[in-house]
Every structure is written in C-alpha cells, then in structure tokens.
Amino acid sequence: METPPPPTPRTEPTAEDTEAVRLQLGRPPRGLRAIAHRCPCGRPDVVETAPRLPDGTPFPTLYYLTCPRAASAIGTLEAEGVMKEMTERLQRDEELAAAYRAAHEDYFRRRDEIEELTGFPSAGGMPDRVKCLHVLVAHSLAAGPGVNPLGDEAIALLPEWWRKGACVQVPQQHTTSEENDT
C-alpha cells in the first residue's frame, strides 16, 4: 500500500451511514454507536459498537470493520499465514509484545469507558496472539497509527481497497438526515 487511509474523526452515524453499513454487511447493523473511521471514499469502513447489543448480549468487539473490500483483502492476508507469523514474532520480540499489550490495554480502556465487560477478552487475540486481523485493522484505523502495531503492519500490507470508489451505493432516499434507529 502506498499511503494508509488517514485517520478520521469519530462521528455520529447518519441515516445514510447506517444504510451504507447495512449494505456493506448485508444485514442491519447491531449496536451501532458511531462511525469510528471513514474510508477515503467517504463511506464508513469501521464502526464503533456497543459493548452489549440491544438484546443485552455482550459484544466485546468495540471496533468492527464493515467495508467488504477491506475485509476481503484482510482475509487474503489471513489465508497467507500473516497471523501465524505475527504470533510467532510476539513470542520472540519483547518490544513488539509490549506494544501489543499496550494496544490491548487501549482497547479495554476505550470499551470500558462505554461499559465494562468483566471477564470478556479485548479482541483479535490481544494481548498474546493474533486471532483476527480484521479487528486489529479496525482498531488501528479507529485509534490512529501507532496504537496497535500489528494492526498498523496489516494495513501496510493491504492494497488500496478504496481506489475503485465506494464499495456500496446508497439509494437516494437514504441521503437525507433521517433519524438513526439502530
């Protein structure tokens, strides 16, 4: 990747954002709290979800990657063994392991500011292994560069998923400022 997508401010989801996320996921978003990052094309690519879904089910994944193009590219990295290689490096590289533990603490802190989920993990395998690059990339995009070293590394390995334009087209009726009822 030439240049990673720049950080974007966390924003309240509009009706258009909610519809874009619905189209990206192929289902209505659950527990949507905010747009945590926008793709350079302008669409949401990471959402912040509530630590508990509307039905009360715990949902420890605070940052959820929604862009299907980014998700597909990350899936390719996972299939190529990137997670295994990263996990092995965590066992050998004390500096990397310390930075990854700090990312884990950052994730917990951000989630606990909303609601504590005692006994639930952070996400993505943190702090000892790499279980899901999608979560690590979402954390890096939402928190900004330098917070999650392995998320940052994964982003650097990705193609520029936004180059072809928006991954979904939102129908015109969803471009007004309708009430967000997710």
Can you give the residue ranges of every domain in the chain? 15-170
pLDDT of 90 above 80: yes
pLDDT reported for residue 1: 56
pLDDT of 111 above 90: yes
Once rounded to an integer, what is the mean pLDDT over residues 9-25? 95
pLDDT digits (tens, 9 = 90+) for 67-84: 999 999 999 999 999 999
Find all residues with CB under 8 Å of 32, minimum gap 6, and list them.
13, 18, 21, 47, 48, 49, 50, 180, 182
pLDDT of 35 above 60: yes
User: How far is the C-alpha of 40 from the C-alpha of 38, rounded, in Å?
Assistant: 6
Provide the CA 154 distance to its chain's centre, in angstroms: 12
User: How far is the C-alpha of 160 from the C-alpha of 178, rounded, in Å?
Assistant: 31
Contact 127, 115 (CB under 8 A): no
User: How far is the C-alpha of 10 from the C-alpha of 161, rounded, in Å?
Assistant: 21
pLDDT reported for residue 80: 97
Once rounded to an integer, what is the mean pLDDT over residues 7-32? 94
pTM for this entry: 0.90
Confidence of residue 3 (pLDDT cuts 50, 70, 90): low
User: How far is the C-alpha of 179 from the C-alpha of 62, rounded, in Å?
Assistant: 23
Between 176 and 142, the more confident residue is: 142
